[in-house]
Amino acid sequence: MDVKIGILQQRKIEAEIIKPIYEIMKREFGLEAARRVVEEAIAQAAIDAGKAFASKEVDNKTDIESFVALQYLWEKDDALNIDVLTNNSDCYEYQVNRCKYAEMYQGMGLGDIGFLLSCNRDAKFIEGYAPHIKLTRPHTIMNGDGFCDFCYQTQK
């Protein structure tokens, strides 16, 4: 992944490529099959991206602190308006109050798979980056909630 641009811009480029492919898959294989393919492909890409980021850490040491240090990439271009609730060595918890990712996918006509293109990546990315850290996030703006509530917790 190119880290010179923010993740929002990276997702826009990817979505512009995925959209016509997704439309053809829906036509040829049906909505559910098209969604399954997108979900599987994006999940694997997120795991691979997490592993790639982990490989750049000193001694491949990944923890909450190193993960938090990467967050500027997802926030770049004013992509997220967040309130950090907890930030320590065992837990990084924050609430997203505005999400330009959701706005972008809606504007591109991809709101129905925006969760698969973006939100679904979060747990898969951390799985690849630091398997000992787990994400819980019961609410997402992409799925119609008024906020996203992220909690990354180190598993003992």
User: What are the residue boundaries of the structural domains of the chain, listed by start?
Assistant: 7-154
State the burial class of residue 83 (Cβ atoms within 10 Å of its Cβ: 0-12, 13-18, 19+): exposed
Sign of CA pseudo-dihedral 63, 52, 132, 122: positive
- Which carries the bigger pLDDT value, residue 66 or residue 156? 66
Report the distance separating Cα 23 and Cα 124, nearest Å: 24
Topology (CATH level 3) of domain 7-154 = Muramoyl-pentapeptide Carboxypeptidase; domain 2 (3.30.1380)
Assigned token pair, 22:
């997704």
pLDDT in tens, 61-81: 999 999 999 999 999 999 999
Does residue 126 register a pLDDT over 80? yes
Report the distance separating Cα 140 and Cα 146, nearest Å: 7
